[in-house]
């Protein structure tokens, strides 16, 4: 299911959300400028490799932060940034730019640590903003329970576009991530299955659910609960 838009309009320009999108895109463009060997070194250096994390060596923990700005290809970055574009502006609306930035970074850190906790001996670099974005989705889930998400559902060659309540859309997304993570644990491939850090998604979303109220600075307004038919963005 591909989200196309939601029906909540931002009250202010989401400067921090756009800044985060811009940083991710610039880092990805830098990755594209590297040759295959240099890109491999860059990913190994700045991607999070759980087995390398050492409590006695603080420098080994830097990739827990830097990895959330790396991406593994066009599909990876486009899907991540599109989801952040749709849902992040509204969360920033309620938190304010600075709180939103702190929330986003902490969500990404918690997500990566969750992945490292589940697979402590993994030698595969974990990269991508999806853990931090999962935190944003968890926050959206609680802040905008009446929102609706216009969604593209590909059915064979005939795409279906429908409005889905945000609680249903995001709830289904979270359950699918949890199920995939549990399934990966039961397979011999484990962390290598599909190349997706399912537990980073689970950890990020859980962080968003638990911590969102501590970052909110602006109360909900009637515009946050619009008529799903009349108000679109």
Chain centre distance of CA 5: 16
Q: CB within 8 A of 231, min separation 6: which ones?
A: 7, 8, 9, 223
Residue 232: the pLDDT is 45
Residue 226: the pLDDT is 57
Residue 184: the pLDDT is 87
Nearest 5°: the CA angle 214, 218, 220 is 105
Residues in the chain: 233
Q: How far apart are CA 23 and CA 7, in angstroms?
A: 26
Instruction: Give me the residues of the chain with pLDDT under 70, please.
Output: 188-194, 221-233
Q: CB within 8 A of 211, min separation 6: which ones?
A: 103, 106, 107, 135
CB 180, CB 205: distance < 8 Å: no
Q: How far apart are CA 193 and CA 36, in angstroms?
A: 23
Domains of the chain are 2-224 (1.20.1540.10)
Query: Scanning the structure block, which residue is given the tokens 């609706």?
Result: 148
Q: How far apart are CA 227 and CA 77, in angstroms?
A: 32
> Which residue, among 80, 100, 89, has the nearest Cα to 201 in the 3D structure?
80
* Predicted TM-score of the model (pTM): 0.91
Residue 195: the pLDDT is 72
Q: How far apart are CA 20 and CA 206, in angstroms?
A: 21
3 state DSSP class of 138? helix
């Amino acid at each position: 299911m591909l989200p196309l838009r939601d029906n909540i309009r931002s009250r202010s320009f989401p400067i921090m959300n756009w800044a985060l999108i811009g940083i991710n895109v610039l880092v990805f463009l830098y990755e594209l400028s590297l040759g295959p060997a240099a890109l491999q070194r860059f990913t190994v250096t700045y991607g999070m490799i759980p087995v390398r994390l050492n409590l006695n060596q603080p420098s080994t923990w830097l990739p827990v932060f830097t990895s959330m700005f790396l991406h593994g290809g066009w599909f990876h970055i486009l899907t991540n940034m599109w989801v952040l574009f749709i849902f992040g502006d509204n969360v920033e609306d309620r938190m304010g730019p600075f709180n939103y930035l702190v929330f986003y970074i902490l969500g990404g850190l918690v997500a990566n640590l969750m992945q490292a906790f589940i697979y402590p001996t993994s030698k595969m670099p974990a990269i991508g903003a999806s853990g931090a974005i999962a935190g944003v989705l968890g926050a959206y889930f609680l802040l905008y329970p009446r929102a609706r998400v216009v969604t593209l559902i590909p059915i064979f060659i005939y795409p279906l576009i429908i409005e889905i309540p945000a609680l249903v859309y995001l709830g289904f997304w979270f359950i699918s991530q949890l199920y995939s993570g549990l399934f990966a644990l039961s397979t011999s491939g484990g962390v290598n299955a599909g190349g997706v850090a399912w537990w980073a998604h689970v950890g990020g979303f859980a962080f968003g659910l638990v911590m969102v109220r501590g970052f909110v600075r602006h109360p909900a307004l009637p515009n946050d609960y619009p008529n799903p038919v009349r108000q679109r963005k």
